[in-house]
Structure 1
Amino acid sequence: MSAPTSSHAYGIGLIALIVGMSATVVFYTSFYLPESLAKPSVSDHILHPEEEFFIIEIVPGAVIEGNENYVPNNPTVLLTFTNNVKWINNDDTAHTVTPDHRHADGYSGDFGSSGVLKPGDTYEFLFTEPQEVHYHCQPHPWMKGSIIVEKSRF
């Protein structure tokens, strides 16, 4: 005949389980999660480049296939000098700045305008690490551009 099981053993096991789960949740929310979401440390010179903005213009008539669109179209910008980039829509049609493939900067996050840029609208992005990004206009896929970000030699 087997011995009857004690309800105290089940109660102690349940309390141990609750304490263990609570400790896991506290660790995850207090230490792991904030550390994993923290932005990397970036030099103040990169966060505040010498030039306020490097301008890329979406030129009038850019919507017409074969015309110039993003000017300059394939610039190289330098960290600490020209890495804060602003796209200005000077066309009379709405456009986007959409990465060809999902792209994120370690500090600034996802690259790409969050919607259409109506005429006169701007999109700004602060690049904080060397990279090359290819982009296009979502409604007008023939409009293509790219930007190369390099470390400055100074």
Structure 2
Amino acid sequence: MGTPTSSHAYGIGMLALIIGMSATLVFYTSFYLPESLAKPSVSEHILNPEDEFIIEIVPGAVIEGNENYVPNKPTVLLGFTNKVIWQNNDDTAHTVTPDHRQADGYSGDFGSTGVLKPGDTYEFLFTEEQVIPYHCQPHPWMTGTITVEKSRF
């Protein structure tokens, strides 16, 4: 009797499968994954603006008709005031929720995750020009709009 040849074919097939899977894994972790997760290149002066811009959720903001986000429709400038902080100075929890999904290429999705309890803050670093209308999820009459522009200087 001769030796079976099917075990050699099986071994060669398994070796080819292992090599193929290894090559796929190396490509995925070395090239595809880093490129898909890479953030865009943003200049240092935009990543480290000269100043922060504060928007206050004022006391009594929960009452319809009162002021709520102050200032309510600010314009911030990239490189100067593009790091924006919302401070909840009211005695009620609020949110900063975009009217429509908004994302910044560098900082990701805009909007507070969960509620801002009294005394809490939400900050966002804008790196692109955009206009974002937003509101408070539990109090939809509370609205604001932030405009992000390039500096003219």
* TM-score (normalised: structure 1): 0.90
- Percent sequence identity over aligned pairs: 85
C-alpha distance in structure 1 between counterparts of 2:19 and 2:80, whole Å: 53
- Give 3-state SS (helix, strand or coil) of 1:28's partner: helix
Q: Which runs of 5+ in 2 are unaligned?
A: none
User: Once the 2 structures are TM-superposed, how far is the Cα of residue 35 of structure 1 from its aligned partner?
Assistant: 2.0
Task: Report the counterpart of residue 33 of structure 1 in structure 2.
Answer: 33
Instruction: Show CA shifts across 1:44-99 (max 9, x none).
Output: 11011111x11111111110112111111111111011101010111111101111
Report matched runs for 1:60-99 at 5 Å.
60-99=59-98
Stretches (4+) displaced over 4 A: none
Aligned ranges 1:1-154 → 2 under 5 Å? 6-51=6-51, 53-154=52-153
RMSD: 1.5
Residues 4-33 of structure 1 show CA distances to partners (whole Å, capped at 9, x for unaligned) of 973322321222122111110111012211
With the length of structure 2 as denominator, give the TM-score of the two structures: 0.91
- Determine the C-alpha separation between the residues in 2 that align with 1:16 and 1:102: 46
User: Residue type of the partner of 1:149?
Assistant: V
